[in-house]
Amino acid sequence: MTRRYDVVGIGLAVYDTTLLVDTYPEPNTKVDATAVWHGGGGPVPNALAALSRWGVRTAYVGRVGDDIWGRALRDKFVAAGVDVSHLEFDPHLPTPTASLWVDRQTGERTAVLGSSHYSAPRNVPANLIENAGALHIDGRDAEVCIEAARRARNSGVAVSLDVGSPRGGVLPVLPLVSHLVVADRFAAFASRAADPATMLERLWRDTFEALVITHGEEGAHGRSRREVEVRCGIYEVDVVDTTGAGDVYHAGYLYGVLNGWFLERRMRFAAAAAALAITALGARGFLPPLDEVESLVRTAIPVGGR
């Protein structure tokens, strides 16, 4: 059967307002933002938008409020080339929003969610998942993600999970994941370990195709069934805003999965994509073109790496 979508994503969609500030305000004071960015956000949606920019056929499965922010998110998906045939509008659900302050000196961001309530559609079409190249989830609605991941694995479809912050509710999803790419904060929580090597050892499951743990400025390390351990540093760039770096990293990683690359090449491509993405304000302020990512991989060497 002809594949309709390369990647299907299920996860939280958020409307972001990002403010670049010279300094965080003290209590009862005001500061002026030097730049403002508005747009779509959320780990899975951001990854789908980046993949779509690289020519990957993507579809989003999710639910937003039937309000101005929900309709704006739909328009952002459409503009990015992501299929929204399975996006639902719920009149009883406020669309999640976020306000992000970005430190102009470091590019680090602090986020406040206006609404974190989220539930995925109950009836995700089986053929949508079973005919995809990969399923990308964030585990926020564990029940839906477990059912979708089970369908995917039974059909030989790769399952990728993006989870950064410690969330116990996502743990039941792990046995159904084939590619686990997580931030070190979650890895430390789930493995109850502090050093990278022990995190990797304790998190590894025989059901995984690969496991990667990211460490921000210290790069990433991982392993696969074919590669015992792989380390990759970061590409040095002028950082503006780190928002969405992990999301674009996942996009780069999935691009490598779809192309059948070995883990080391997937990690280098993902690191390059994430590095270019943080040179602009906003989670999708700059989704780097494919040729720019490939050029950075060819011409630069990652530095550091745990």
What structural domains and CATH numbers belong to the chain?
A: 7-299 (3.40.1190.20)
- Give the residue among 103, 38, 97, 45 at the shortest CA–CA distance from 69: 97
Residue type, 38: H
Q: What is the pTM of this model?
A: 0.95
pLDDT of 187 reads: 94
Point out the residues of the chain with pLDDT beneath 50.
1
The answer to whether residues 110 and 101 touch, using CB atoms and an 8 Å cutoff, is yes
Looking at residue 228, its pLDDT comes to: 83
CA 49/CA 198 separation, integer angstroms: 34
Place of tokens 């102009």: 104
pLDDT of residue 114: 84
Query: Which pLDDT value is given to residue 1?
Result: 47
- pLDDT, residue 93, reads 87
Instruction: Quote the tokens at residue 214.
Output: 């990211």
pLDDT of residue 227: 87
* Beta carbons of 98 and 114 less than 8 angstroms apart: yes
Give the model's pLDDT for residue 132: 96
- The angle formed by the CA atoms of residues 38, 293 and 22, to the nearest 5 degrees, is 40
Which residue in 16, 24, 185, 217 sits closest to 102, CA to CA?
24
Task: Supply the DSSP string of 18-56, one letter for each residue.
Answer: EEEESSPPPTT-----SEEEEEEE-HHHHHHHHHHHTT-
